[in-house]
Structure 1
Amino acid sequence: MLNRKFNGARLKEGRIYRGYTITELAEYLEVSKQMVSKYENAHVDPAFETVHKIASYLDFPVQYFYEKSVEVKVGNTYFRSLLSTGKKDREMQLDRIKYITILRRMLEEYIDFPELDILKNFEYENDMEHFTQQLRTYWEIGDKPIKDIVLLLEEKGFILSSIYLENKSIDAFGANCSIGNKDYYSIVLSSDKQSFYRRQFDVAHELGHALLHESSIVFNDLDKEEQKQIEKEANDFAAAFLLPREPFLRDVLMHPNDLEYYKMLKKKWGVSISAMLMRAYKLEAINDGTYQYMQRLISKKGWRQKEPYDDIKEIAEPMANRQAIELLVENDYFSGSELLKILSKEFGLTVLPNEVEKLLGLEEGYLIEKEPPLTNNIVQIKNIRSI
């Protein structure tokens, strides 16, 4: 490693991954901002002692800064709260998507995952009801409620992960990625302050971006009004996909003006009361006056922050990547440390065990091998002989 050249681009990647500015890193290293910029742009190599300080501050192994990972092409990154997510936060999460995709590529060497089964041959044509019905038909869902959209997307080959995100305004984000000639679609969900029902809509929203926008827009070219439009389309997709028009209308029209009735529908359709109310309004099952009245009632009942049944149903967690690791480790295919070595040697990504645990939703400490108990006792009990 000592003979390898310091990778300034990797320094920038790691700094942004941790959410630090050049100024913050410069102050910690007691150098100028210009010097850090020179490090990142490969104009100056930091001293080895400085690299150790960088590694300590950014919480990456030293080797991380001397390597280059396999190339991952990342498309537009869509955020559930797109308009309230700043550029810094979007950039900070970009490499989490990339690293999760690299981990999946590594695991595919040993595990058979479902192939990405994404709708490609159908046009949106401004008819969301028809578009979502085509997808339901293609995936053989019919008109049934989607009991667990996280499980559904994993079965369809999407990569999902639930991780702790310091920015509380980010609920979920996703992006199309490719390694070599293989395409992936990765979705990251916030593990903080969620309910099963909110997560259902978050995942459906990200699915909407994947199907409606990934191949048709250049995100950086969008102005705020255009961003609002694609957010609206993703929300409309999520509502139409989770609550298909005809069967949902049959249910809601039985008692459209009774807010208590929506509690029962929530159990059946797996969608929040607030989202169902909006869907009922857009489908003209309730008029504007009734909708506004019920919204005020929701506020009065305190359901803005927490709805009935939110704390009863367990949140759906991604399973595929975690199960893959557990299959390999529990069956002694390789140990946690061997997995990390493969990730480093073959994929150019040297990270600490806890980083992989966070990215894949593993139990803390799972990849750290336990020290075997000491058996080299100097003394032992004598054999007891009968007299």
Structure 2
Amino acid sequence: MVLNRNFNGMRLKEGRIYRGFTITELAEYLNVSKQMVSKYENSHAEPSFETVHKIANYLDFPFHYFYEEPVNVTLGNTYFRSLLSTGKKEREMQLDRIKYITILRKMLEEYIDFPELDLLVGFDYQDDIEEFTQQLRTYWGLGDKPIKDIVFLLEERGFIISSLYLDNKSIDAFGAICSIREKEYYSIVLSSDKQSFYRRQFDVAHELGHALLHEPTIIFNDLDKEEQKQIEKEANDFAAAFLLPKESFLRDITMHPSDLDYYKMLKKKWGVSISAMLMRAYKLGAINDGTYQYMQRMISKKGWRKKEPYDDIKEVSEPIANRQAIELLIENDYFTGPELIKILSKEYGLTIHPSEIESLLGLEKGYLLSKEEPVTNNIVQLKTIRNMESC
């Protein structure tokens, strides 16, 4: 029972940071000193039963959450799409979201066959990102054709992709490698509150660039601002080269390289924003500096900085693998929503509200408390053998 366990001060700190609260804010709510909250978090003092209930209410975590010893998760570098404009507090808030998503994936793998993480290994790009992206396209069998849906592509290659409402204008996407029980995962979290399909394509490709170019060779905390700018540039160059392969994109763009209406047509073909294509055309030498600057001014004049043509027409691609896994299990009566929550708590030391799980896995609100129609065309499949009685 919970009362036979010790209060976990690290869990208090984890939950507080997860919700974005400072020690001062929590202390004021509890009507205690900042020093006392610090003692709680460092296990130098234990809050009363009543105080824990107040903490649970304020941070919106179940009471049990603060008495658990969670499964160990090793988190590598976390790369943010807008690294230099994302503050330390905002970055810290998101770290445990990646951990929790990865724990959920680990639990689901006990019942579901997911694609294994499939990365290009053994190739040293030696600063030649063009060659590296071509090697990756060949390895994944993509040829030189447009990538219609990079979210689906990476899920098929074993990446964990989630789309969350982050309520933070400075964060578009972030990703990190995690290790649980000697197995490695790469998770990418996308902001769901301000995306177009085309922007999301580039964001995901950018995070893929970090995964392949910089992990695990970069010690992120040792980088200064100039070095951070450099790895962001490399990730952007990777995204552009991967989404817009040099030879085939040049064949298209050289027909009308300075015609913005032509870029509108190419946007539908390549699934990439006009701004990204224009930058790529400039870097490949399809347009000179003067033409590039003129076209940039025209983009501003047309109001395309905030919204380009077709941005509000094409539906944003959402991750589906984790959602499909949950739906397969529940619709096939492997377990109910409440039973899933109990397994997560008992086997992985993570007791969170159903609504939190729904958010992390992209489920419809209330799904874990209800019964929905089964889905078809799944990326993932149920494992063929599983002794459910042990659960």
Alpha-carbon shift at residue 166 of structure 1 (Å): 1.6
Match of 2:72, as an amino acid?
E
Q: Following TM superposition, where does structure 1 have runs of at least 4 consecutive aligned residues deviating by more than 3 angstroms? A: none
Task: Answer yes or no: is 1:134 the counterpart of 2:135.
Answer: yes
Q: Distance in 1 between matches of 2:299 and 2:210?
A: 29
Structure 2 counterpart of 1:111: 112
Alpha-carbon shift at residue 193 of structure 1 (Å): 1.2
Alpha-carbon shift at residue 6 of structure 1 (Å): 0.1
Structure 2 counterpart of 1:79: 80
Match of 1:235, as an amino acid?
N
Structure 2 counterpart of 1:179: 180
Q: Distance in 2 between matches of 1:369 and 1:282?
A: 52
Task: Answer yes or no: is 1:150 the counterpart of 2:151.
Answer: yes
Residue ranges of structure 2 left out of the alignment (5+ in a row): 372-391
State the identity %: 82
Alpha-carbon shift at residue 90 of structure 1 (Å): 0.8
Q: Distance in 1 between matches of 2:187 and 2:203?
A: 14
Alpha-carbon shift at residue 369 of structure 1 (Å): 4.3
Q: Distance in 2 between matches of 1:117 and 1:342?
A: 28
Cα deviation, 1:266-313, whole Å, max 9, x if unaligned, reads 011000000000000000000000000000000111100110011111
Judge conservation of contact 1:55–1:62 (CA < 8 Å) in 2: yes
Alpha-carbon shift at residue 215 of structure 1 (Å): 1.5
Structure 1 counterpart of 2:291: 290
Match of 1:281, as an amino acid?
Y
TM-score by length of 1: 0.95
Structure 2 counterpart of 1:377: none
Cα deviation, 1:76-97, whole Å, max 9, x if unaligned, reads 0000000001111111100000
Q: Distance in 1 between matches of 2:124 and 2:150?
A: 22
Q: Distance in 2 between matches of 1:166 and 1:268?
A: 31
Structure 1 counterpart of 2:160: 159
Alpha-carbon shift at residue 169 of structure 1 (Å): 1.2
Structure 2 counterpart of 1:199: 200
How does 1:213-228 map onto structure 2 within 5 Å?
213-228=214-229
SS at match of 1:367: helix
Alpha-carbon shift at residue 363 of structure 1 (Å): 0.3
TM-score by length of 2: 0.94
Q: Which has the larger radius of gyration?
A: 1
Q: Distance in 1 between matches of 2:40 and 2:199?
A: 43
Alpha-carbon shift at residue 71 of structure 1 (Å): 0.6
Match of 1:105, as an amino acid?
K
Q: Distance in 1 between matches of 2:250 and 2:46?
A: 65
Q: Distance in 2 between matches of 1:69 and 1:166?
A: 27
Task: Answer yes or no: is 1:266 the counterpart of 2:245.
Answer: no
Q: CA RMSD in A?
A: 0.7
How does 1:1-387 map onto structure 2 within 5 Å?
1-369=2-370
Alpha-carbon shift at residue 368 of structure 1 (Å): 1.6
Aligned length: 370
Cα deviation, 1:326-378, whole Å, max 9, x if unaligned, reads 011111111000000000000000000000000001000001248xxxxxxxx
Judge conservation of contact 1:337–1:369 (CA < 8 Å) in 2: no
Structure 1 counterpart of 2:379: none
Cα deviation, 1:18-47, whole Å, max 9, x if unaligned, reads 000000000000000000000000000000
Judge conservation of contact 1:101–1:184 (CA < 8 Å) in 2: yes
Q: Distance in 1 between matches of 2:24 and 2:358?
A: 30
Q: Distance in 1 between matches of 2:169 and 2:37?
A: 29
Match of 1:178, as an amino acid?
S
SS at match of 2:367: coil
Q: Distance in 1 between matches of 2:323 and 2:169?
A: 24
Q: Distance in 1 between matches of 2:182 and 2:47?
A: 36
Residue ranges of structure 1 left out of the alignment (5+ in a row): 371-387
